[in-house]
């Protein structure tokens, strides 16, 4: 709620995620991607409200589950979280070894005698060097802090892993290493939902791409089609790809509307070169697309003059 009124931070978000699959949710900052992840784990602010459902394979609805259920049986055990800014989620006065030992004790039945090796094995799963286990968070590089957070997320063997902007602040080599490590965790049947604004990282890891704009999904498509042929169909998604340095390096004009002040009709209309009368109505999300003029004029082209 904002200034006495409700803000619809995420609406009409519908997708399936199968074991062994990676779905990447992309979009500009502030479009609602991280809000969606927080909703799935019951980590929204106290005044937030949710509707709809988010079902695990046994039918448990994450959006309807009570806090004790989420705390005792879901977080860490069934859904692991690699948070944005992992260093901020690590206790500064505790070493990585202490973090991992506490998590291993909480989520597994490891005996005290077997705990040291279990901690080492947890570090190994995320390629975190055992030689750095006794370091504190402030002694870690951004990449090592990310691996520590990943190691913690994997301790419980959760079948679903949420990675919220896991490559923020990393150089390109570390970005590629991080997404490769995350992708490796889907090979034993885990599912991965990665949230990012880095399309190059998404191209490296995704099976499916979901594009979010102003709190709504506007396109959902296989990654091979999104990054290859025929390419994305929504003008916003096509504009995102055109902005990549390795492509046209042509930025999208304008900026997204504030979630608390969305325009009527299509939220992308003010930035879209193919806007027309139909865009005064909000497009429905049908067959993986929310657009009145799919495959219309390329967003890189100048907007036609209007009388």
User: What does the pLDDT look like over 12-55, one tens digit per residue?
Assistant: 899 999 999 999 999 998 888 989 999 999 999 888 899 999 99
pLDDT confidence of residue 30? 85
Q: Please list the residues that pair with 163 across neighbouring strands.
A: 82, 194
Q: Tell me, yes or no, if the pTM score tops 0.85.
A: yes
Other beta carbons within 10 Å of 135 = 15
Shortest CA distance to 40 belongs to which of 64, 21, 23?
A: 64
Contact assessment for residue 234 and residue 274, using Cβ atoms and an 8 Å cutoff: no
Q: What are phi and psi of 81, to 5 degrees?
A: -125, 125
pLDDT confidence of residue 307? 33
How many helices (DSSP H) and strands (DSSP E) are in the chain?
9, 6
Q: How far is CA 132 from the centre of its chain?
A: 28
Q: How far is CA 225 from the centre of its chain?
A: 20
Shortest CA distance to 78 belongs to which of 102, 97, 60?
A: 60
pLDDT confidence of residue 302? 42
Shortest CA distance to 265 belongs to which of 242, 240, 287, 293?
A: 293
The CA–CA distances, whole Å, from 264 to 238, 282, 283 equal 22, 7, 11
pLDDT confidence of residue 171? 81
* Cβ burial, residue 47 (10 Å; 0-12/13-18/19+): exposed
The CA–CA distances, whole Å, from 121 to 26, 157, 188 equal 32, 12, 16
Tell me which residues of the chain have a pLDDT lower than 50. Answer: 1-2, 298-307
Return left, alpha or beta for 272; rule: phi > 0 is left, psi -120 to 50 is alpha, else beta: beta
- The rounded distance, in Å, linking the Cα atoms of 23 and 110 is 32
């Amino acid at each position: 709620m904002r200034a006495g009124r409700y803000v619809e931070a995420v609406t009409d978000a519908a997708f399936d995620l199968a074991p062994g699959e990676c779905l990447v949710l992309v979009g500009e900052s502030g479009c609602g991607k991280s809000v969606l992840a927080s909703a799935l784990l019951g980590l929204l602010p106290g005044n937030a409200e949710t509707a709809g459902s988010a079902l695990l394979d046994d039918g448990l609805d994450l959006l309807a589950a009570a806090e004790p259920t989420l705390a005792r049986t879901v977080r860490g055990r069934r859904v692991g979280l690699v948070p944005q800014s992992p260093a901020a989620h690590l206790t500064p006065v505790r070493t990585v070894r202490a973090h991992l030992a506490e998590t291993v004790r909480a989520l597994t039945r490891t005996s005290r005698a077997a705990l040291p090796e279990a901690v080492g094995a947890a570090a190994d799963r995320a390629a975190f060097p055992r030689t750095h286990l006794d370091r504190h968070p402030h002694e870690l590089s951004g990449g090592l802090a990310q691996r520590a957070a990943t190691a913690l997320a994997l301790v419980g063997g959760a079948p679903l892993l949420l990675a919220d902007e896991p490559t923020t602040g990393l150089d390109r080599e570390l970005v590629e290493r991080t997404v490769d490590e995350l992708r490796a965790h889907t090979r034993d049947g885990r599912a991965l939902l990665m949230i990012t604004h880095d399309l190059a990282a998404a191209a490296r890891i995704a099976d499916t791409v979901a594009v979010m704009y102003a709190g709504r999904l506007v396109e959902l498509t296989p990654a091979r089609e999104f990054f290859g042929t025929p390419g994305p169909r929504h003008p916003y998604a096509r504009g995102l790809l055109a902005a990549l340095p390795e492509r046209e390096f042509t930025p999208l004009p304008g900026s997204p509307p504030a979630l608390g002040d969305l325009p009527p009709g299509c939220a992308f209309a003010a930035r879209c070169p193919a806007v027309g009368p139909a865009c005064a109505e909000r497009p429905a999300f049908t067959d993986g697309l929310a657009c009145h003029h799919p495959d219309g004029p390329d967003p890189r082209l100048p907007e036609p003059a209007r009388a």
